[in-house]
Structure 1
Amino acid sequence: MASPAPTPTPTTTWLPAKSWQHFLAGGLGGMCGAVVTSPFDVVKTRLQSDLFRQKHADVGAVMGDSVVLVRRPGGGLLWHFVETAHIIRDIARDETPRALFKGLGPTLVGVIPARSINFFTYGNGKHIIANRFNDGQENSYIHLCAAAIAGVATGTATNPIWVVKTRLQLLTSNNLPTTTATSPASFFGGSIPMIRQIAREEGIRGFYKGLSASYLGVTEGTIQWRLAASTNGQGGGLQEWAGMLGSAGTAKCVASLITYPHEVLRTRLRQPLVNGQKKYTGLIQTLRLVIAEEGARSLYGGLSAHLMRVVPNAAVMYSIYEGILRWGSNR
Structure 2
Amino acid sequence: MSSPKLATPPKTTDRLNFFPAKSWTHFVAGGLGGMCGAIITSPLDVVKTRLQSSMFVENAMHHSGGTATVSVIQSKGLLWSFVETGHILRDIYTNESPAALFKGLGPTLVGVVPARSLNFFTYGNGKQIIANHFNNGQESSVVYLAAAVLAGVVTGTATNPIWVVKTRMQLSASQANPYRSSWPCITQIMREEGIRGFYRGLTASYLGVTETTIQWVIYENLKKISQNSDSGRVGEFFGIIGSSGASKMVASLITYPHEVIRTRLRQPSVNGVVKYRGLWQTLRLVIAEEGAARLYGGLSAHLLRVVPNAAVMFTIYEGILRWNGQS
For each residue in 1:85-140, what CA deviation from the matched residue of structure 2 results, as whole angstroms up to 9, or x when unmatched? Answer: 00000011111010010110000001000000000000000111112212212211
How far does residue 150 in structure 1 lie from its aligned partner after superposition? 0.1
Per the alignment, residue 306 of structure 1 pairs with: 302
Q: Write the deviation string for residues 241-296 of structure 1: whole angstroms up to 9, x where unpaired.
A: 11110110000000000000000000000000101100000001000000000010
Rounded Cα–Cα distance in structure 2 between residues aligned with 1:273 and 1:57 = 19
Q: Which residue of 1 aligns with 2:135?
A: 134
Alignment-derived partner of residue 161 in structure 1: 162
- The answer to whether the 8 Å contact 1:47/1:56 transfers is no
For structure 1, which segment, 73-82 or 110-119, has the greater mean C-alpha deviation from structure 2 after superposition?
A: 73-82
Post-superposition CA distance 1:287-326 (Å, at most 9, x none) = 0000000010000000000000000000000000000000
Alignment CA distance shift 1:43-1:173 (3 Å)? closer
Instruction: Select 1:37's aligned residue among 22, 37, 41.
Output: 41
Alignment-derived partner of residue 4 in structure 1? none
1:319 matches 2:315: yes
Aligned residues: 308
Q: CA deviation at 1:69?
A: 5.3
Correspondence for 2:197? 206
> Once the 2 structures are TM-superposed, how far is the Cα of residue 141 of structure 1 from its aligned partner?
0.8
Q: 133-142 or 105-114, which moves further after superposition?
A: 133-142
Question: What aligned pairs does 1:173-212 form with structure 2 within 5 A after superposition?
Answer: 174-176=175-177, 180=179, 183=180, 190-212=181-203
1:285 is matched with which residue?
A: 281
Report the AA paired with residue 88 of structure 2: I
| Paired residue secondary structure (2:322) | helix
1:53 shift after superposition: 1.2
Number of the residue aligned with 2:236: 240
Q: Is the 8 A contact 1:252 1:314 kept in 2?
A: yes
> 2:33 is aligned with what amino acid?
G
Q: Does 1:27 align with 2:27?
A: no
2:257 maps to amino acid = P
The aligned residue for residue 325 of structure 2 is 329
* Residue 76 of structure 1: how far off its partner (Å): 2.5
After TM superposition, the score normalised by the length of structure 2 is: 0.89
Task: Describe the shift of the 1:68–1:53 C-alpha distance in structure 2 as closer, same or farther (beyond 3 A).
Answer: closer
Q: State the distance in 1 between where 2:125 and 2:91 align.
A: 44
What's 2:52 paired with?
A: 48
| TM-score using structure 1 length | 0.88
Query: Structure 1: where are the runs of 5+ without partners?
Result: 1-7, 184-189
Cα distance in 2 for partners of 1:174, 1:111 equals 25
Deviation at 1:57, TM superposition (A): 6.5
User: Once the two structures are superposed, what CA deviation does each residue of 1:199-251 show, in whole Å capped at 9, x if it has no partner?
Assistant: 00000000000000000000000000001000013332211111110110000
Cα distance change, pair 174–70 in 1 and its aligned pair in 2 (3 A):
closer
What's 1:3 paired with?
A: none
Q: Deviations over 1:151-204 (max 9, x none)?
A: 000000000000000000001353326xx3xx3xxxxxx101100000000000
Give the percent of matched residue pairs that are identical in Structure 1 and Structure 2: 67
Q: CA deviation at 1:55?
A: 4.3
SS in 2 for 1:224: helix
| Post-superposition offset of 1:11 | 6.0
Counterpart AA for 2:293: R
Corresponding residue of 1:111: 112
How large is the RMSD of aligned CA atoms in angstroms?
A: 2.3
Partners of 2:71 and 2:278 lie apart in 1 by 34
Identify the range of structure 1 (77-86 vs 131-140) with the bigger mean alpha-carbon deviation. Answer: 131-140
Tell whether the 8 Å contact from 1:220 to 1:255 is kept in structure 2 after alignment: yes
State the partner residue of 1:186: none
* Partner of residue 94, structure 1: 95
Query: How far did 1:54 drift?
Result: 3.7
More helix by share: 2
> Aligned equivalents of 1:160 and 1:174: distance in 2?
22
Q: 1:18 aligns with which of 15, 18, 22?
A: 22
- Decide which moves more: 29-38 or 72-81: 72-81
Letter of the structure 2 residue corresponding to residue 21 of structure 1: T
- Checking the alignment, whether the CA contact within 8 Å between 1:221 and 1:255 is kept in structure 2 is yes
Residue correspondence of structure 1 range 243-282 to structure 2 within 5 A: 243-282=239-278
Q: Distance in 1 between matches of 2:70 and 2:209?
A: 38
Unpaired stretches in structure 2, ≥5 consecutive residues: 1-9
